[in-house]
Amino acid sequence: MTAMAQPNGRRPKRLSAGRIGLYAFLVISALFFLTPLYVMLVTSLKPMSEIRTGNILALPAAPSLAAWNSAWSSACTGLQCNGIRVGFLNSIRILVPSVMASIMVGAVTGYALSFWRPRGAQLLFATLMVMAFIPYQVFIYPLVRMFSQAGIANSLLGIVVVHTIFGLPTMTLLFRNHFVALPIELFKAARVDGAGFWRIFIQIMLPMAVPIIVVAIILQVTGIWNDFILGLVFAGRENLPMTVQLNNIVNTTQGERTYNVDMAATLLTALVPLAVYFLSGRWFVRGIAAGAVKG
Amino acid sequence: MAKRRLIGSRVSAQVALAPALLIALVIYCGSTLWTLWISLTTSRMLPNSVFVGLRQYEVLASNDRWLASIVNLAVFGVLFMVAALTVGFLLAALIDFRVRAESLFRSVFLYPFSMSFIVTGLAWRWMLDPTLGFEKLLHDVGFADAHFNWLVRPDRVIYTLVIAAVWHASGLVMAIMLAGLRGVDREIWNAARVDGLPVWRILVFIVIPMLRGSFATAFVLLATSVVRLYDLSVAMTNGGPGIASEVPAKFVMDYLFERGNLALATAAATTMLITVIAVVAPWYHWQGRKTHVGAAH
Amino acid sequence: MSTVSLRGVEIAFGTFKVLDWLDLEIAQSEFLVLLGPSGCGKSTLLAAIAGLLEIDQGEIWIGGRNVTWEEPKDRGIAMVFQSYALYPRMSVRRNLSFGLQVAGMKRDEIDRRVTKAATMLQIGELLDRKPAELSGGQRQRVAIGRALVRDASVFLFDEPLSNLDAQLRAELRTEIKRLHGSLGATMIFVTHDQIEALTLADRIAVMKDRRIQQLGTPQEIYLKPANRFVATFVGSPAMSFVSGRIGEHGNFEASGWQLPLADYAFAAPPVRGATVDLGIRPEHVVLAPSDPHALPARVELVEPMGSDLLAWTRIGEAAISIRLPAETQVVAGDTLPLLFPPHRLNLFDAQGQRL
The one-letter amino acid code at C50 reads A
The whole-number average pLDDT for the span A39-49 is 89
The pLDDT value recorded for residue B1 is: 34
The pLDDT value recorded for residue C343 is: 87
Substitution target from A178, A186, A187, A192 for chain C, most C beta carbons within 10 A: A192
pLDDT of A134 over the 80 cut: yes
Quick check: C82 contacting A, CB < 8 Å?
yes
pLDDT bracket for residue B2 (50, 70, 90): very low
Domain B63-290 falls in which CATH fold? MetI-like fold (1.10.3720)
Q: Work out the burial of residue B292: count CB atoms within 10 Å of its CB; fewer than 13 is exposed, 13-18 middle, 19 or more buried.
A: exposed
The pLDDT value recorded for residue C108 is: 94
pLDDT bracket for residue A292 (50, 70, 90): low
Q: What ipTM score was computed for the predicted complex, to two decimals?
A: 0.86
pLDDT tens digits for range B56-66? 898 888 888 99
The pLDDT value recorded for residue C272 is: 85
* C103/A192 Cβ within 8 A: no
Q: Work out the burial of residue B243: count CB atoms within 10 Å of its CB; fewer than 13 is exposed, 13-18 middle, 19 or more buried.
A: middle
Q: How far apart are CA C179 and CA C160, in angstroms?
A: 14
Domain A85-290 falls in which CATH fold? MetI-like fold (1.10.3720)
List chains touching A (3+ CB pairs under 8 A). Answer: B, C
The pLDDT value recorded for residue A6 is: 55
pLDDT of B7 over the 80 cut: no
Question: pLDDT tens digits, chain C, 355 residues: what are they?
Answer: 689 999 999 998 878 888 888 899 999 999 999 999 988 889 999 999 999 888 888 999 999 999 998 888 889 999 999 988 999 989 999 999 999 999 999 999 999 999 999 999 999 999 999 999 999 889 999 999 999 998 899 999 999 998 888 899 999 999 999 999 999 999 999 999 999 999 999 999 999 988 899 999 999 999 999 999 999 999 888 999 999 998 888 888 888 888 888 888 888 788 888 899 999 999 999 988 888 888 999 999 999 988 899 999 999 889 999 999 988 888 899 999 999 998 899 999 988 899 8
* C88/A192 Cβ within 8 A: no
Q: How far apart are CA C55 and CA C52, in angstroms?
A: 10
pLDDT of A196 over the 60 cut: yes
Regarding predicted confidence, which is higher, C200 or B141?
C200
Nearest to C177 by CA among C205, C153, C157: C157
DSSP result, A231-256: HHHHS-GGG--HHHHHHHHHHS--SS
Query: B241: cis peptide before it, omega within 30°?
Result: yes
The pLDDT value recorded for residue A293 is: 43
Search chain A and give the residue with CA nearest B23: A165
* C54/B7 Cβ within 8 A: yes
Min Cα distance A212 → chain B (Å) is 18
pLDDT tens digits for range C96-110? 999 999 999 999 999
The one-letter amino acid code at C259 reads L
All CATH 3.40.50.300 domain ranges of chain C, comma separated, are 4-233
Which residues are within 8 A (CB) of B116 and not within 5 positions of it... i.e. 6 or more apart? A225, A226, A227, A228, A243, A269, A270, A273, B231
pLDDT tens digits for range C68-100? 988 888 899 999 999 889 999 899 999 999 999
Search chain B and give the residue with CA nearest A198: B12
Search chain B and give the residue with CA nearest C72: B7
Distance of CA C155 to the CA centre of its chain: 16
DSSP code for A80: B
Nearest to C91 by CA among C44, C47, C125, C42: C125
In contact, C40 and C208? CB cutoff 8 Å? yes
* A140/B272 Cβ within 8 A: no
Domain chopping of chain B, boundaries: 63-290
C333 Rama class: left (phi>0) / alpha (psi -120 to 50) / beta: left
The whole-number average pLDDT for the span B188-204 is 80
What's chain A's average pLDDT? 86
The pLDDT value recorded for residue A8 is: 58
The side-by-side arrangement of strands in the sheet containing C346-348 is C257-259, C252-254, C240-246, C275-280, C346-348
DSSP code for A61: S
The pLDDT value recorded for residue A144 is: 92
Which residues are within 8 A (CB) of C295 and not within 5 positions of it... i.e. 6 or more apart? C256, C257, C315, C337, C338, C339, C340
* C13/B295 Cβ within 8 A: yes
pLDDT tens digits for range A230-289? 999 999 888 999 999 998 888 876 667 888 888 999 999 999 999 999 888 778 877 776
Min Cα distance B109 → chain A (Å) is 6
pLDDT of A3 over the 80 cut: no
The pLDDT value recorded for residue A268 is: 93
pLDDT tens digits for range C22-74? 899 999 999 999 999 988 889 999 999 999 888 888 999 999 999 998 888 88
Distance of CA A195 to the CA centre of its chain: 36
pLDDT of B6 over the 50 cut: no
pLDDT of B147 over the 80 cut: no
The pLDDT value recorded for residue B9 is: 63
pLDDT bracket for residue B52 (50, 70, 90): confident
The pLDDT value recorded for residue C39 is: 83
Nearest to B188 by CA among B213, B205, B212, B175: B205
The pLDDT value recorded for residue B100 is: 84
pLDDT tens digits for range C236-245? 889 999 999 9
CA-CA-CA-CA torsion for B206, B210, B215, B217, nearest 10 degrees? -170
The pLDDT value recorded for residue A4 is: 47
pLDDT tens digits for range B241-284? 888 889 999 999 999 888 888 899 999 999 999 988 887 788 77
Q: How far apart are CA A143 and CA A230, in angstroms?
A: 11
The pLDDT value recorded for residue B295 is: 30
Query: In this prediction, what percent of chain A has a pLDDT beyond 70?
Result: 92
Q: Are strands C186-191 and C154-158 parallel, antiparallel or unpaired?
A: parallel
The pLDDT value recorded for residue C133 is: 93
* C13/B7 Cβ within 8 A: no
pLDDT of B212 over the 90 cut: no
pLDDT of A77 over the 80 cut: no
Query: In this prediction, what percent of chain A has a pLDDT beyond 90?
Result: 47
pLDDT bracket for residue B294 (50, 70, 90): very low
The whole-number average pLDDT for the span B110-122 is 92
Regarding predicted confidence, which is higher, B280 or B17?
B17
Report the top-level CATH class of C240-348: mainly beta
Q: Least CB-CB distance to B8: which of C13, C53, C71? A: C71
Residue window 42-101, chain B: list those with CB within 8 Å of chain A. Answer: 47, 87, 90-91, 94-99
Min Cα distance B7 → chain C (Å) is 6
Quick check: A182 contacting C, CB < 8 Å?
no
* C78/A194 Cβ within 8 A: no
Q: How far apart are CA C274 and CA C271, in angstroms?
A: 6
Search chain C and give the residue with CA nearest B6: C69
* E strand or H helix that includes residue B123: helix B117-127
Which of chain B's residues have a Cβ under 8 Å away from the Cβ of C69?
2, 4-5, 7
The whole-number average pLDDT for the span B101-128 is 91
Q: Work out the burial of residue C163: count CB atoms within 10 Å of its CB; fewer than 13 is exposed, 13-18 middle, 19 or more buried.
A: middle
Q: Are strands C295-304 and C335-339 parallel, antiparallel or unpaired?
A: antiparallel
List chains touching B (3+ CB pairs under 8 A). Answer: A, C
Q: How far apart are CA A124 and CA A130, in angstroms?
A: 10
Regarding predicted confidence, which is higher, B291 or B19?
B19
pLDDT bracket for residue A1 (50, 70, 90): very low
Taking one residue from A and the other from C, the number of pairs with CB-CB distance under 8 angstroms is 61
What's chain B's average pLDDT? 84
Which of chain B's residues have a Cβ under 8 Å away from the Cβ of A109?
16-17, 19-20
The pLDDT value recorded for residue C277 is: 92
Longest dimension (CA), chain A: 77
CA-CA-CA-CA torsion for A241, A246, A251, A255, nearest 10 degrees? 130
Taking one residue from B and the other from C, the number of pairs with CB-CB distance under 8 angstroms is 19
CATH number belonging to the domain at C4-233, selected among 3.40.50.300, 3.30.70.20, 3.40.30.10, 1.20.1330.10: 3.40.50.300
Which residues are within 8 A (CB) of C146 and not within 5 positions of it... i.e. 6 or more apart? A189, A193, C78, C80, C86, C95, C96, C98, C99
* C71/B7 Cβ within 8 A: yes
In contact, C131 and C88? CB cutoff 8 Å? yes
